[in-house]
């Protein structure tokens, strides 16, 4: 598969999509809050006429993300969920979608409780096995939707293999790249058609806005997504777009710290007798460790582990942490911790959570960019305080 000529680098993160204002010579993109723009005459429209359709601050962010992901274009939205919803609006009544059985809980809810009402049919499969994907293809299948690494157990799906199956059956491929960011994984280089983000997470990185992105591979798809974002009104608000644009400038640097801290935490918890299992693609014994090495440029800033609930009181553990906030979400500069069973994946019914391999003892960490030693000591102290 031909790689995109657009590269992902710190230089591009800082310099692409920056609209310097030439009235005051600003070096950063201003926030254009205007909802509407004046025409000089009916035959002489401005470059943007109405912010739902287009906005200079949003456009700067779109260009930045398209560059980093190596896409033809990017369209930023007001949340990650609206990026997913907008993309699924490419489909028609009666279409069938194959998706991972271990997805972000909100995505599962959108698919099974909302879109299914509009006669879209979903098959949830363990996508770490290519034969499951092949077996799920039907005459009306139109799209394969997946996350890799999966959330929260960090299984790795073979992107090239999914694309190959999709091409054979003329299916669209959609990959939520929120966990990795283009600094660690560029799905378009593997032939994926649409790459999604919750920019709320690493892309912005400061836990202070909500947003999403849809990155396209080809012009025709860009036109279809542009149409849908305008028709549905899901475009990113200017202020949130500006925050994400600012956050992206340090994305590469932040990712280095997230990776370093996740690896340090993993090193420490591997030695704990209070922890039954560690889920992290960087471990040699992780079932798809080699694949992760091949398709990712790093193992990521997220890790999960299973506490032995016979030996630890999970609530006391959370209460005794100083630097980890008990929160859903991920990808911010501050370390976050959560119980997927009752928090990020509560939108999945119990049967679906069990099928995805979840249990109440599983804890997910989003490693922030604090000093590693403080994070490791914090976990050690809290585990000791929560021993039964
Ligand atoms: C992997 C993933 N995709 C999508 C979303 C939805 O994003 P948002 O909360 O910005 O709507 C989330 C939210 O946690 C997520 O973790």
Kindly report the CATH number assigned to the domain that includes residue 45. Answer: 3.40.640.10
Residue 224 pairs in a beta bridge with: none
| Index of the ligand 1 atom closest to the CA of residue 82 | 11
Q: How many beta carbons lie within 10 A of that of residue 373, not counting itself?
A: 10
Does 5 map to a domain?
A: no
Examine the pLDDT at 99 and tell me if it is beyond 70.
Answer: yes
Same domain? 29 vs 161: yes
Same domain? 28 vs 167: yes
> Tokens 């058609």, residue?
193
Active site residue 129: no
Which residue in the list 58, 95, 142, 176 is annotated as catalytic? 176
Residue at which a domain ends, from 190, 220, 248:
248
Of 142, 185, 128, whose CA–CA distance to 302 is shortest?
185
Q: How far apart are CA 293 and CA 369, in angstroms?
A: 23
**Pure H helices in the chain:** 10-15, 56-69, 80-88, 105-109, 130-136, 159-168, 219-232, 238-248, 251-269, 289-295, 314-319, 350-355, 372-385
Examine the pLDDT at 18 and tell me if it is beyond 90.
Answer: no
Strands 172-176 vs 275-279: parallel, antiparallel or unpaired: unpaired
State in Å: Cα 32 to ligand 1 middle: 26
Does 2 map to a domain?
A: no
Of 93, 62, 77, whose CA–CA distance to 229 is shortest?
77
Q: What is the pLDDT at residue 9? A: 94
Same domain? 194 vs 273: no
Which residue in the list 32, 104, 145, 257 is annotated as catalytic? 104
Q: What is the pLDDT at residue 354? A: 93
Same domain? 134 vs 62: yes
Same domain? 47 vs 32: yes
Examine the pLDDT at 86 and tell me if it is beyond 90.
Answer: yes
At 334-361, the pLDDT tens digits run 999 999 999 999 988 999 899 989 999 9
Same domain? 38 vs 100: yes
Tally of domains in the chain: 2
Q: What is the pLDDT at residue 163? A: 98
Mutate to test the pocket of ligand 1, among 88, 104, 208 (most ligand atoms within 8 A of CB): 104
Same domain? 230 vs 363: no
Active site residue 313: no
Same domain? 101 vs 18: yes
Instruction: Give the structural domain span for 376.
Output: 253-385
Q: If you take atom 14 of ligand 1, which residue's CA is the nearest one?
A: 329
Strands 362-366 vs 302-307: parallel, antiparallel or unpaired: antiparallel
Which residue in the list 19, 37, 48, 52 is annotated as catalytic? 52
State in Å: Cα 80 to ligand 1 middle: 5
Same domain? 313 vs 344: yes
The CA distances from residue 29 to 26, 158, 209, 211, in Å, are: 7, 38, 17, 18
Does 158 map to a domain?
A: yes
State in Å: Cα 345 to ligand 1 middle: 11
Q: How many beta carbons lie within 10 A of that of residue 191, not counting itself?
A: 17
3-state secondary structure of 161: helix
* Chain centre to alpha carbon of residue 167: 24
Q: What is the pLDDT at residue 20? A: 77
3-state secondary structure of 55: coil
Residue at which a domain ends, from 248, 271, 293:
248
Does 32 map to a domain?
A: yes
- Percent of the chain with pLDDT strictly greater than 90: 95
Q: Residues with Cβ < 8 Å from 131, sequence gap 6 or more? A: none
Same domain? 105 vs 183: yes
State in Å: Cα 180 to ligand 1 middle: 13
Same domain? 243 vs 273: no
Q: If you take atom 16 of ligand 1, which residue's CA is the nearest one?
A: 104
Does 127 map to a domain?
A: yes
At 262-299, the pLDDT tens digits run 999 999 999 999 999 999 999 999 999 999 999 999 99
Residue at which a domain ends, from 219, 248, 277:
248
Mutate to test the pocket of ligand 1, among 201, 247, 336 (most ligand atoms within 8 A of CB): 201
Does 16 map to a domain?
A: yes
| Residue 374: CATH number of its domain | 3.90.1150.10
- Mean pLDDT in residue range 185-193: 98
Angle at which helices 251-269 and 372-385 pack, to 10 degrees? Answer: 40
Backbone angles phi, psi at 110, to 5 degrees: -60, -45
Tell me the Cα Rg of the chain.
21
Q: What is the pLDDT at residue 2? A: 67
Instruction: Give 3's pLDDT tier (boundaries 50, 70, 90).
Output: confident
Q: What is the number of residues in the chain? A: 388
Residues with CB under 6 A from ligand 1: 79-81, 104, 106-107, 147, 151, 176, 178, 198, 200, 210, 212, 329
Active site residue 109: no
Does 195 map to a domain?
A: yes
| Index of the ligand 1 atom closest to the CA of residue 179 | 1
State in Å: Cα 104 to ligand 1 middle: 7
- When the pLDDT of each residue in the chain is averaged and rounded to a whole number, the result is 96
Q: Is there a contact between 327 and 348 (Cβ–Cβ < 8 Å)?
A: no
Examine the pLDDT at 22 and tell me if it is beyond 90.
Answer: no
Of 47, 30, 26, whose CA–CA distance to 38 is shortest?
47
Active site residue 52: yes
State in Å: Cα 182 to ligand 1 middle: 16
At 35-62, the pLDDT tens digits run 999 999 999 999 999 999 999 999 999 9
Mutate to test the pocket of ligand 1, among 78, 84, 106 (most ligand atoms within 8 A of CB): 106
Same domain? 258 vs 370: yes
Please tell me the pTM assigned to this model. 0.97
> Tokens 């599983």, residue?
362
State in Å: Cα 5 to ligand 1 middle: 28
Does 294 map to a domain?
A: yes
């Amino acid at each position: 598969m031909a790689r995109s000529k657009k590269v992902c680098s710190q230089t591009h993160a800082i310099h692409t999509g920056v609209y310097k204002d030439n009235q005051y010579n600003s070096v950063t993109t201003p926030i254009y809050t205007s909802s509407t723009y004046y025409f000089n005459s009916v035959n002489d429209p401005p470059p943007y006429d109405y912010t739902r359709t287009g906005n200079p601050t949003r456009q700067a962010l779109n260009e930045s993300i398209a560059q980093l992901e190596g896409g033809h274009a990017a369209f930023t939205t007001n949340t990650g969920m609206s990026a997913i919803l907008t993309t699924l609006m490419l489909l028609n009544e009666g279409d069938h979608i194959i998706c991972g059985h271990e997805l972000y809980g909100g995505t599962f809810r959108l698919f099974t409780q909302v879109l299914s009402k509009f006669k879209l049919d979903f098959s949830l499969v363990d996508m770490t096995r290519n034969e499951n994907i092949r077996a799920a293809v039907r005459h009306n299948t139109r799209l394969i939707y997946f996350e890799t690494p999966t959330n929260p157990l960090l299984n790795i799906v073979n992107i090239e293999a999914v694309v190959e199956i999709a091409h054979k059956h003329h299916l669209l491929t959609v990959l939520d790249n929120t966990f990795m960011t283009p600094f660690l994984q560029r799905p378009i280089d593997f032939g994926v058609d649409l790459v999604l983000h919750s920019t709320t997470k690493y892309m912005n990185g400061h836990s202070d806005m909500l947003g999403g992105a849809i990155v396209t591979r080809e012009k025709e798809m860009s036109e279809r997504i542009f149409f849908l974002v305008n028709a549905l009104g899901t475009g990113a608000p200017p202020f949130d777009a500006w925050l994400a644009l600012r956050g992206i400038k340090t994305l590469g640097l932040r990712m280095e710290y997230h990776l370093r801290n996740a690896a340090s935490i993993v090193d420490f918890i591997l030695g704990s007798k209070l922890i039954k299992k560690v889920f992290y693609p960087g471990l040699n014994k992780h079932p798809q460790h080699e694949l992760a090495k091949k398709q990712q440029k790093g193992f990521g800033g997220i890790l999960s582990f299973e506490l032995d609930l016979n030996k630890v009181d999970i609530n006391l553990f959370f209460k005794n942490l100083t630097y980890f906030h008990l929160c859903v979400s991920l990808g911010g500069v501050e370390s976050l911790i959560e119980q997927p069973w009752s928090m990020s994946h509560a939108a999945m019914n119990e049967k679906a959570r069990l099928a995805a391999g979840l249990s109440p003892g599983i804890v997910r960490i989003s490693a922030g960019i604090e000093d590693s030693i403080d994070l490791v000591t914090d976990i050690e102290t809290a585990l000791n305080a929560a021993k039964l």
